[in-house]
């Protein structure tokens, strides 16, 4: 393993030498080595060399007064390149401006006034290194947590897609209805004014709208003709079955998925099912899904009907504005129709 570098910068050679000898005798020589630079410019060169060789510099101790670039400016410069590096400034006279600049713009860890007390100096170095290590550990933990969270989200999405696919598999072998319908939902929602991340949740949740079909017997689900009243009542149960399958869960996607399942057959005028909700009482996902689902059902072959032409389907949607569908949602649907037709072409059964 490459040793980390502690970089000491001072224009006075004897101070540098004494710093180096002092630190060598006190730090863990297995983990760190000391590099010295007699100017800010030389320090930057060492930084670049270390960077190219993949060596990290957890700590820099820089003198404030140096010919050329001063210590505080060097730290500000390095802070832009490596904000994690812990920075200590050595000051000959109490030069407040430089210290202030380093605190404000280089996230200075400490400043030490010359001449320093050896024990204080050592304590500062030890604490600085500890703070660097703690920072890296925290960073690692956060990255690990982030990737774990990402994995959980991806797994959840995958389960949603597969479960939706399982439900749809019974009446379609391509599974394209769900893909088309979810894409329509996202396009309509974005044009309706829904934020991008919310539209993404809606897109994923919409996949589950018909998951309750798992609970509908084949003789009803696949019946080629018109359903009897009793069969229709059973068919309509797919909304509640779907909501039961998804059930309550703190995940936003699953909450939306549940709403999609329970409300995608509600109608704006209150004549839909299962809860006869009307107007804005119907959740947003239900209002979006209603149009997306009906348009897709109309334009594709179903066991009980042939595929309709786009124009005839669009007219039916227009005629149902304020009845089956929210008027603003119909206007939005018409606006994104070209986008919807592209999706339709891409995923044709």
Chain residues binding Fe ion by CB under 5 A are 210, 293
CB of 188 to Fe ion, least distance (A): 15
CB of 210 to Fe ion, least distance (A): 4
Q: Which residue's CB is nearer to Fe ion, number 128 or number 329?
A: 329
Rg (CA), the chain: 33
Compute the least distance from the CB of residue 204 to Fe ion, in Å.
15
- Cα separation, 189 vs 316, whole angstroms: 20
Task: Please list the residues that pair with 18 across neighbouring strands.
Answer: none
Instruction: Rank residues 122 and 297 by Cβ distance to Fe ion and give the closer one.
Output: 297
**Which residue has 């007390």 as its token pair?**
117
- Taking the least distance from each CB to Fe ion, the nearer of 110 and 300 is 300
Task: Report in angstroms the alpha-carbon separations of 186 from 29, 279, 284.
Answer: 58, 20, 12
44 to 18, 35, 38, 79: CA distances (angstroms):
21, 12, 11, 11
What minimum distance in Å lies between the beta carbon of 178 and Fe ion? 7
Nearer to Fe ion, 87 or 237 (CB): 237
CA 291 vs. chain centroid, Å, equals: 28
Give the DSSP letter of residue 3: P
CA–CA gap between residue 213 and residue 209 (Å, rounded): 9
Rounded least distance, CB 105 to Fe ion, Å: 58
From residue 106, alpha-carbon distances to 9, 94, 103, 124 in Å are 16, 18, 6, 17
CB-nearer residue toward Fe ion: 194 or 289: 289
**CA dist 112 to 88, 117, 125, 282, Å?**
7, 9, 11, 66
Answer yes or no: 213 catalytic: yes
Catalytic pick among 213, 237, 267, 344: 213
Closest by alpha carbon to 335, among 348, 318, 323, 312?
A: 318
Minimal distance, residue 262 CB to Fe ion, in Å: 10
**CB closer to Fe ion, 129 vs 340:** 340
59-63 and 86-91: which strand pairing? parallel
Residues marked active site are found at 213
């Amino acid at each position: 393993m490459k040793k980390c570098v502690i970089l000491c910068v001072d224009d006075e050679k004897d101070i540098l030498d004494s710093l180096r000898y002092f630190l060598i005798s006190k730090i863990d020589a297995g983990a760190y080595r000391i590099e010295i630079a007699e100017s800010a410019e030389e320090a930057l060169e060492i930084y670049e060399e270390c960077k190219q060789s993949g060596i990290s510099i957890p700590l820099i101790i820089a003198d404030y007064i140096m010919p050329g670039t001063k210590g505080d400016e060097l730290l500000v410069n390095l802070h832009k390149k490596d904000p994690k590096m812990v920075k200590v400034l050595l000051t000959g006279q109490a030069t407040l401006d430089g210290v202030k600049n380093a605190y404000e713009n280089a996230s200075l860890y400490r400043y030490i006034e010359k001449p320093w007390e050896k024990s204080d100096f050592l304590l500062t170095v030890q604490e600085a290194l500890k703070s660097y290590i703690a920072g890296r550990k925290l960073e690692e933990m956060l990255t690990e947590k982030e990737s774990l969270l990402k994995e959980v989200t991806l797994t959840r999405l995958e389960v949603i897609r597969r479960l939706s696919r399982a439900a749809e598999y019974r009446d379609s072998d391509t599974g394209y209805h769900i893909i088309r319908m979810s894409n329509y939902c996202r396009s309509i929602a974005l044009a309706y004014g829904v934020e991008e991340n919310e539209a993404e949740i809606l897109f994923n949740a919409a996949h589950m709208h018909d998951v309750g079909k798992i609970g509908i017997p084949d003789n009803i689900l696949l019946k080629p003709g018109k359903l009897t009243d009793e069969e229709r009542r059973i068919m309509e149960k797919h909304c509640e079955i779907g909501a039961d399958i998804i059930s309550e869960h703190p995940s936003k996607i699953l909450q939306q998925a549940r709403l999609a399942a329970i409300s995608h057959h509600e109608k704006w005028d209150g004549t839909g099912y299962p809860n006869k909700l009307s107007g804005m009482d119907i959740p947003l996902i239900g209002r979006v899904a209603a149009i997306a689902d009906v348009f897709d059902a109309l334009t594709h072959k179903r066991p009980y009907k042939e595929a309709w032409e786009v124009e005839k389907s669009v007219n039916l949607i227009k005629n149902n504005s304020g009845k089956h569908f929210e008027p603003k949602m119909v206007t939005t649907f018409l606006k994104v129709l070209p986008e919807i037709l592209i999706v339709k072409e891409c995923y044709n059964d």
